[in-house]
Amino acid sequence: MAKALVSIDYTVDFVADKGKLTAGKPAQEIESSLVALTKKVYEDGDYIFFAIDCHDEGDVFHPETKLFPSHNIQGTSGRDLFGGLASLYESIKEDSKVFWMDKRYYSAFAGTDLDMRLRERRVDTVILTGVLTDICVLHTAVDAYNLGYQIEVSKSSVASLTEERNQWALEHFEHVLGARIID
């Protein structure tokens, strides 16, 4: 069986100081680890899925509209990958083991064909990275668990708005979802 890294929402809007819904410094501090892990997974020949939040400007029907400021709007630079991950993606994006998928909801599985693509490739383990640990990474982990995947979460490659929220999510992954916390 194979592994796949799922890189969640490491974009300008979620990471940059002037991002529309930024985690700021905590998210910026994981950049080198996240890039190094992504590069290692790529060099090991495993799959990489960039699951990136994508919203429409002025979409009053999306439930997040009532919860958060407008962010990751289709066609804006806020959806661009942040920092070194953007450079790495540019160098590997043509590889048949690298995928970009837009998502509208917290989970990378909700409303996407991620599960189908993983099963086609006989992936049984997902490695989760990105932001926010207690929102999009968490919802992706719950769906992965419910679909029967083994879950690994790179502690040094996830971040949230606060360390307390990040730590709560990591403990939830390990003790409730049976995830393996790596590094």
Q: Report pLDDT digits (tens) over 48-102.
A: 999 999 877 777 666 676 666 677 678 888 889 999 999 999 999 999 999 999 9
Residue 54, both tokens? 């994508």
Question: Do residues 3 and 41 lie in contact, with contact meaning Cβ atoms separated by under 8 Å?
Answer: yes
Structure confidence by residue, pLDDT tens digits, 120-138: 999 999 999 999 999 999 9
CA dihedral 61, 65, 67, 68 (to 10 degrees): 160
- Rounded Cα distance between 175 and 159, Å, is 19
pLDDT at 74: 80
- Rounded Cα distance between 150 and 130, Å, is 18
pLDDT at 76: 86
pLDDT at 56: 74
Judge: domain 2-182, CATH 1.20.1730.10. Answer: no
Q: What is the 3-state secondary structure (H, E, C) of 75-131?
A: CCHHHCECHHHHHHHHHHCCCCCEEEEEECCCCCCCCCCHHHHHHHCCEEEEEEEEE
Kindly give, in sequence order, each residue whose CB lies less than 8 Å from that of residue 64, ignoring residues fewer than 6 positions away.
55
- Rounded Cα distance between 85 and 37, Å, is 10
- Rounded Cα distance between 36 and 182, Å, is 14
Q: What ranges do the domains of the chain cover?
A: 2-182
pTM as predicted:
0.94
Structure confidence by residue, pLDDT tens digits, 7-62: 999 999 999 999 988 999 999 999 999 999 999 999 999 999 999 998 777 776 66
Structure confidence by residue, pLDDT tens digits, 102-120: 999 999 999 999 999 999 9
- Rounded Cα distance between 47 and 35, Å, is 15
Kindly give, in sequence order, each residue whose CB lies less than 8 Å from that of residue 169, ignoring residues fewer than 6 positions away.
133, 134, 137, 138, 158, 160
Residue 49, both tokens? 């899925």
